Amino acid sequence: MRAFAVLMMVQGHTIDMLLANQFRDNNSFIYYSWNFMRGMTAPIFLFTAGTVFTYLFVLQNKKATDNPRLRKGLKRFLLLVFLGYLLHYPTAKIIDFSSVTAEQWKAFFAVDVLQLIGFGILFLIALLYLSEKIKIKPSYLFLTFGLLFIYLNPVVQSIEWKSFLPVQIAGYFYSGTGSNFPLFPWCSYLFFGGILGYHLAAHTGGHKKPKFGISLFLIGAALIISAFAGDRMEIIINGTSDFWGDSPNLILYRLGIVLILNSIFCLIAVKVEKIPNLIILIGRHTLSIYFVHLIILYGSAWSLGVSYFMADSLDMWKSIGSALIMILLMIGMVISIRMIKFKTKVITS
């Protein structure tokens, strides 16, 4: 799932950056399908991040303060937040900000998915520690906070946070400062992923049974049905639908699709004896792939990206071809990293 999520993100960013405006037609089934799945990439990525971190943490079967995953999680939090800001650093002069424009500052302080995942991991650690102290299953706390982040989102988004908080902090609460991934509602996907991660660690090997995949599918389908039912109720009560806005129903809908995708992977895992090493390798280097492909596409304060030369300039097939090339480059990168690590290990031994 991690490999699938990051490769979906790579092709989504590449095509979105290159595709000319005249080919962005929602009446086209191909474009509409691609655009819909692109909207699913972040939920899949976030859910999987929550699943993996919680699984590895719980699998240690140690007190939170003695768990080696605690230190790794805190380091990961700091690294992700640092890299998130580094991607949008506004000047190549490091400490000279005299020429930085208001738009560049806005982009720098906008919350990226990396900062979101970093804080999501921090919250997961806090809830895992709290569950140990109050003697309650972590999944109950994950569920509670996941629902809170979903259903409080419309209220949180209606508050003008930057009117009384510094813009650097306000961006973590709502999209009014330009943040694409504020904590509300996006952290909910990490919390729900944590539920799955806890279940997998507590029931090792359970995912190998068809019943588990079927259960995930049914839960996902139930969430999708409840999302449409909730939207219908919203129309009856308010006379309008905010499904594609800040409505909790959209989160439930996307979460349902994420669970159905997980169920499909689980059912495949029942039949597959061993996951190919390349897929494992890609899944282990999602951060490197994410960071490097964004630098290539959009550049940084110290380099120009492909977008500087080719943004919104290609037709559909050239954009798809470019996305395939980008995916192959990222696969080549992780294979090279693997080879370098192997050679270094051989030399040192």
Taking the whole predicted model, whether its pTM rises above 0.95 is answered as: no
Residues 127 and 243 in one domain: no
Q: What is the DSSP letter of 112?
A: P
Instruction: State how far the Cα of 325 lies from the Cα of 317, in Å rounded to an integer.
Output: 12
Residue 223's Cβ-count burial label (10 Å; 0-12, 13-18, 19+) is buried
Closest to 339 in 3D by CA, of 291, 281, 295, 280: 281
Residues 248 and 314 in one domain: no
Domains of the chain: total: 2
Token pair for residue 23? Answer: 């080919």
Residues 195 and 121 in one domain: yes
Digit-by-digit pLDDT tens for the chain (349 residues) are: 889 889 999 999 999 999 999 888 888 888 888 888 888 999 999 999 999 999 999 998 888 888 999 999 999 999 999 999 999 888 888 777 778 888 888 888 999 899 999 999 999 999 999 999 999 999 999 999 999 999 999 899 889 998 889 988 999 998 888 888 999 999 999 999 999 999 999 887 767 788 888 999 999 999 999 999 998 988 888 888 888 888 899 999 999 999 999 999 888 888 887 888 888 899 889 999 999 999 999 988 888 899 888 888 888 899 999 999 999 999 999 999 888 887 777 676 6
- Parent domain of 172: 2-203+286-348
Token pair for residue 280? Answer: 């494992």
8 A C-beta contact, residue 213 and residue 263: yes
Distance (Å) of CA 220 to CA 5, 145, 156, 263: 18, 19, 26, 9
Residues 221 and 245 in one domain: yes
Residues 135 and 237 in one domain: no
Residues 76 and 163 in one domain: yes
8 A C-beta contact, residue 325 and residue 29: no
Q: How many CB atoms lie within 10 A of CB 205?
A: 8
Residues 82 and 144 in one domain: yes
**Residue 280 resides in a domain:** no
